[in-house]
Structure 1
Amino acid sequence: MTARALTATDLALAGLLDGAGFARTEPPLLIAADLVRDLVGEALARRLYLTTDADGTELCLRPDYTIPVVKAHLEGPRAGEAAACSYLGPVFRHRPGLAGEFNQAGIELLGRADREAAETEVVALALKAARLYTSGPLVLAMGDVGLFMALVAALDLPAAWRRRLAKDFRRSGMLEDDLKRLAEPAHGGPTYRGLLTALEGSDPKAARALVADLLSIAGITTVGGRSAADIAERFLEQSALGTGALDPDQVAVVEKVLAIDTDPVSAESELRAIAGEAGIDMGAALDRLARRNALMAGSGIDLGASRFSTRFGRDVDYYTGLVFEIHDATGSVGKPLVGGGRYDRLTEMMTAKLGLDLKVPAVGCAFWVERLAEAGGRA
């Protein structure tokens, strides 16, 4: 099945985005599959449409626009400059019961140093664009991955735990398991402590190679489909995670922070109170939240009617700050109409892969035009 034909409202959306200064762009349909897998995480990687070129390189049809748009910008002559891009066209994902090809619109704001202003611009334009499709009630839901990472940093956890918590933040149930494990008292250590002591301080790559070699010597090549290298990576990660525990009071602070679900202004106030009482320094992250709240209020966004949850995340791994979705408040469309946020981690990974010495702040969003049309009764 192919994507539905573009409607007059879809074209009006494209015109609105272009008129707001987001130049229309159209990146290639095909992109290297390995690049996409590295950037989007497992959930989306399993839904790719794959093919191979004449040289044997595995490619995929673009599952969204963000990665190819960012890649094209970073490979272009103005990679170090600010850019505002928009798009409207087909993307491709396996979607059980639905067409694998569907239309997506969106905007990407790259290289803007005034981060909170850039985030406000994206959210305000997203709300305005949604109104092209529906006059019905909408809900703006927001969160901030950076707040959680500021909390983790303030707790002075080992690097392995910081990585684990960042990875599990958006995974239902897994973060609770992490906190339970952190709350357990540290014990004497596993029976392989001698090997861990020998590896302590070693180069991580060399340590992985040594463990992989030991497994190969023992005749262990695969377990459950995992290679010796994968098993070695898992072994070292689990070993590092077993080296530290949080004080019960610290776990209680994390749980208090993660329980916040209110409007953005009240969330800021509650977070400052928790941090102050616990003596935890989250000042920089909270100041960013305060600036963004002020800018959003000044742009006409009704923060009192918006929701801010410290547990809110989205289903890809590269978000680093603000995350947001716009929902149909009637519930007739169960999935987000618009979704996006700040994704500096994606540009960091991509510049590293391209060998570029650049820092490129990035924020954007995607419009699910079929859902928007359904919300407005224009399906």
Structure 2
Amino acid sequence: MEEIQRDELIKWGIPEEEIEEEERAKVEIWKYIFGFVEMAVVKCAIELGIADVIATHGRPMTLLELSSALDCDPQNLHRIMRFLVNRAIFKEILIRNDAVPTAYYAQTPISRRLMRTGENSMAAFILLESSPPMLAPWHGLSARVMARGTSAFEAAHGEDIWKYAEANPGHARLIDEAMACDARVAVPAIIDGCSDVFDGVRTLVDVGGGNGTALRMLVKGCPWISKGINFDLPHVASVAEKCEGIEHVGGDMFEFVPKADAVFLMWVLHDWADDECIHILKKCRAAIPKDIGKVIIAEAVIGNKEQQKEDNKLKDVGLVLDMVMMAHTTKGKERTLDEWAYVIREAGFSRHTVRSIAAVQSVIEAFPA
């Protein structure tokens, strides 16, 4: 059957908005059919080291230069680069040499985030989320929604994500490196947007601090913090890089939290259900002075209108993260303002404040008195 023309549909009285929606759907559906392709090609670019090679070269490179440096097939590399250029991840520059135009590949702000090193690198985060262990649970998301059996991660691997990481040091290291990527984005935003939350704090414990990247940045950005305690599971703390002014302590936050003027938690509580969050926060409250102490939480806040107004481009990330929590944790979730208020109040804190920053996270201060 021939496709009915737009003019005919309008004559039949079908609203133009419906016709436009139908036209968009014909295109949009392909994003969901092949949605995994972008992640796979970007992962390929990181593994090949394309951005790193161009950066090291110091100027844009031709296909032959790039394929020679990478020691790979130029025809296949051309296809990869064509895809990435079309997504504006790299850019193609035509330069005339002896009147013959030659294509050169150059960096963009996005491609620089695919470099393995650098303050803006997000490569480890991409490699973590695209790794086989993290992709497998997504196939069981519908079973999780139906509440059948264990969590999606446990169904895929036979144990939760934390036990899996403990038994697989390479994956644990990738988790730490990915969290360090986020810390390099979030911590400067915290310091620039609300460093005053650390005013008067002389000792700070970072609960679930991983390899200590966030705490190192906080201590450097807030030099009045004389001592930092990086607190994480023993197998994590034992391999954290030594740093002056920071002590690495291994332990279980469900059992105790080292004492300090303030406790800092970034992307920790969203891994757990409400009851577990309340338990963790009670341990944090017990670790700080009642009169001057505080707990500083850096987490996404779903539906934070202030943050959406300030940076509309980040408003969807919290909802994406909520799906990640559903796939990768047993009962973890991203929380709304009301849900954060509930767990903070139930943990015994008398009041709290929420402040937006130029990052996915907001900063929540919880006060015991």
- Which TM-score tier does this pair reach, normalised by the shorter chain? under 0.3
| TM-score for the superposition, normalised by structure 2 | 0.26
